[in-house]
Structure 1
Amino acid sequence: MTARPQPGLMEIALYQGGASAIAGHDEVLKLSSNENPLGPPPSAQAAIVAAAARAHIYPPTDHAALRAAIAEVHGLDPDRIICGVGSDEVLQFVTQAYAGPGDEIIHTEHGFSMYPILAHMAGATPVRVLERERRVDISNILAAVTPRTRLVLLTNPGNPTGTLLPEAELAELADALPQDVILVLDAAYIEFSGGHDGGLSLAASRPNVLVTRTFSKLYGLGGLRIGWGYAAAEMIDVLTRIRQPFNLSGIQLAAAEAAVRDTGWVETCLSLNADQRARLTGALRQLGLSVDDSHANFVLARFAGPEEAAAADAALQAAGIIVRRVAGYGFPEALRITVGDADGTGRVIEALTSWRQA
């Protein structure tokens, strides 16, 4: 008899990240992974260099300095913060800790493609619910809740839609869920939404809400993989018991602490994103494309159909530009385009205008 993997593992479809190369192009403009066009702040770069000299020293296991910095910047309780290898790991913690074979995990049809993977990793059953016009519909989520439901995984703002569920509706959903069902608010893009806390106030006042955040997008540290979560102290205690003690290196911790404290850099990046997002959205609409208002650092451009989207993608690639096909997210007729700097936005507009006029 051969060894057999745990239930659910062979149901996992391997995650596909954004492309980073185009045949025949030595240098490409990569707008497929929602990365910060300005990169990490100089303060974080300096912290990385300084921390590299101490790479022979084991990092602290409690992440106390980083948790304190996050708490100071966001006005939170550091004892209710957990840090992980990207917010993905925090999502893995909560699914592993609270779901298993026979349980169900709800996610929406256009949510992060890692959600069904995480459910299968835990041996649970992913339950997909429909959205309404590319927006989360809380009535559909609540209708899907059964006695087997353990978690609801919700991306807000949505990826790849960029749409935002208002805070009042988040509170309504949290209040309507049974107390033994955990609402996980994946707020990887919330900083770009302007003034929303991503559910941190809900997590502060309710025992069954977890908010996850990342350093990969706004802070430009995607290559280092750092994220964090905020929840009731009792839940954080459970998650910490399955966290590897040295899951974050000294270099990761130093870079993240410097980045979160660099509020001037944050404002610079948010201003650039807001300006170029508006510019890109307006130009795409002038080209006759359907584009919802985005609350993230990308826009979802919807074409007449899959064939037109493929043709536009080919035109962009011919111009050395990589964007994201999102058929796997339920949008075969669309392209997700990361908001770049002014030059990058101009290149996208020029390439698509030439394609449209050809």
Structure 2
Amino acid sequence: MTGPQPRNGIMDLPPYVGGKESLPGQEKIFKLSANENPLGASPNALEAYRMAGENLEIYPDGHSVALREALAKAHKLDVNKIVCGFGSDELLQIMATAYLQPGDEAIHTEHGFLVYKLASLATGARPVSVAETNLTADVDAILDAVNDKTKIVFLANPNNPTGTMISASEVRRLHAGLQENMLLVLDGAYAEYVLTTDYEDGFALVEETQNVVTTRTFSKIYGLAALRLGWAYCPAPIAAVINRLRGPFNVSTPAQVAGIAAIEDQAHVQASIKHNDEWRDRLFQQISGAGFEVLPSHANFLLIKFDPENGLSAAQAEQKLNERGLILRGLTAYGLPDALRLTIGTEEANQLVIEVFQEMAGNNG
């Protein structure tokens, strides 16, 4: 074979496959497959983005100083421990690159975010999938999987695609069971949607330790998914490592200024939280009331399970939903072939979801 060849194992990586984007033949589509904010971005963020477009010939601030300062002020954090990235995915991949090598192991839960496994495999390390209990991370199972080869533990809290979370005390018990040379990465992509008080956002653990990183994204609560903007809060030595590996201008100027405006528009953030809380509860009640199994969620989506032996399969339900212009996320890639993930949408979309689920229940009653 001629031509450059990739490192062994690269072509064995399964490509990341997102949810459906379109439904050919449908006039009106409600895309409820990507956990996007149904209220969109803050008008202030949109205006800041438009204004930034007037100076596209100028390189962005390579250190995202103003954005980091806005994040530090909003969350009362040390600005020097904040690193911004091209989405939180970039930061997760950088940490895998920095702290994993062939022979190492990285732990993730069996239904955790797919990027953890892909980022680990890309380094030549071995990803270790740990069983969950009731689709929730099991700290004892994770700690049982830890050995001298373990270098990273990835934990999404709340988890995508299940919407489940573990308490602050369980997060701290997990950390206490790790050696000092093992990195605990707490992925808080959906942290802003958590309303329970028994939640560990990771910021305090970063301050107290040297081996915890927490990541966040602007793609969910801030509605800036198209800009690919994320950030991490890290101990200073880890921030120094990430800063050596990230691209020198990895966050564009439009993304930086839109991010700052989004942070400062807390009225929009609170409106997004309120909409999500109200409709998450209503959809849970209505869909479960129609006879479908729905997991309680701490995020901006619901996981709905189907029983092909006694009713509809997930594939059959997805087809019926598609016929009405509703796109949900199939979860076969996550090891959940009998489930669909429903993003909390606009009022119009949510009402249609309820209508279709009630129709499906009636047709299978």
| Structures share fold, TM-score greater than 0.5 | yes
Rounded to whole Å, the distance in 2 between the matches of 1:328 and 1:205 is: 36
Rounded to whole Å, the distance in 2 between the matches of 1:246 and 1:199 is: 27
Q: What do the CA deviations read for 1:136-193 (whole angstroms, capped 9, x no partner)?
A: 0011111111111110111110111101110110011111101100000111001101
What amino acid is aligned across from residue 281 of structure 1 in structure 2?
Answer: F
**Percent of pairs with identical residues:** 42
Conserved in 1, the CA contact under 8 Å of 2:82 and 2:239? yes
Q: What do the CA deviations read for 1:200-259 (whole angstroms, capped 9, x no partner)?
A: 111121110010000000100001100000010111001101111111111111111111
Rounded to whole Å, the distance in 1 between the matches of 2:10 and 2:152 is: 19
Corresponding residue for residue 193 of structure 1: 194
Conserved in 2, the CA contact under 8 Å of 1:8 and 1:122? no
Rounded to whole Å, the distance in 2 between the matches of 1:150 and 1:7 is: 21
What amino acid is aligned across from residue 308 of structure 2 in structure 1?
Answer: G
Corresponding residue for residue 163 of structure 2: 162
Secondary structure in 1 matching 2:226: coil
Conserved in 2, the CA contact under 8 Å of 1:7 and 1:101? no
Corresponding residue for residue 232 of structure 2: 229
Rounded to whole Å, the distance in 2 between the matches of 1:242 and 1:106 is: 22
Corresponding residue for residue 140 of structure 2: 139
Conserved in 1, the CA contact under 8 Å of 2:167 and 2:200? no
Residue 103, structure 1, aligned to residue 108, structure 2: no
Return the offset for 1:52. 0.3
Residue 263, structure 1, aligned to residue 266, structure 2: yes
Q: What do the CA deviations read for 1:64-109 (whole angstroms, capped 9, x no partner)?
A: 1000000100111110000001100010111111111111111110
Return the offset for 1:345. 0.8
Corresponding residue for residue 336 of structure 2: 331
TM-score by length of 2: 0.96
Rounded to whole Å, the distance in 1 between the matches of 2:137 and 2:357 is: 30
Corresponding residue for residue 129 of structure 1: 130
Conserved in 2, the CA contact under 8 Å of 1:84 and 1:247? yes
Equivalence map 1:19-168=2 (5 Å): 19-168=20-169
Flag structure 2 segments of 5+ consecutive residues without an equivalent: none
Conserved in 2, the CA contact under 8 Å of 1:213 and 1:227? yes
Return the offset for 1:197. 4.9
Rounded to whole Å, the distance in 1 between the matches of 2:87 and 2:193 is: 18
Rounded to whole Å, the distance in 1 between the matches of 2:302 and 2:308 is: 17
What amino acid is aligned across from residue 93 of structure 2 in structure 1?
Answer: Q
Equivalence map 1:268-279=2 (5 Å): 268-279=271-282
2:247 to 224, 244, 266: 244
Rounded to whole Å, the distance in 2 between the matches of 1:6 and 1:198 is: 37
Secondary structure in 2 matching 1:153: strand
Rounded to whole Å, the distance in 2 between the matches of 1:91 and 1:103 is: 16
Return the offset for 1:27. 2.5
Secondary structure in 2 matching 1:201: helix
Return the offset for 1:26. 3.0
Secondary structure in 2 matching 1:4: coil
Flag structure 1 segments of 5+ consecutive residues without an equivalent: none
What amino acid is aligned across from residue 61 of structure 1 in structure 2?
Answer: G
Conserved in 1, the CA contact under 8 Å of 2:171 and 2:200? no
CA RMSD in angstroms comes to: 1.2
Rounded to whole Å, the distance in 1 between the matches of 2:23 and 2:328 is: 11
Query: How many aligned residue pairs are there?
Result: 358
Secondary structure in 1 matching 2:338: strand
Conserved in 2, the CA contact under 8 Å of 1:315 and 1:352? no
Return the offset for 1:29. 0.3
What amino acid is aligned across from residue 349 of structure 1 in structure 2?
Answer: I
Return the offset for 1:123. 1.6
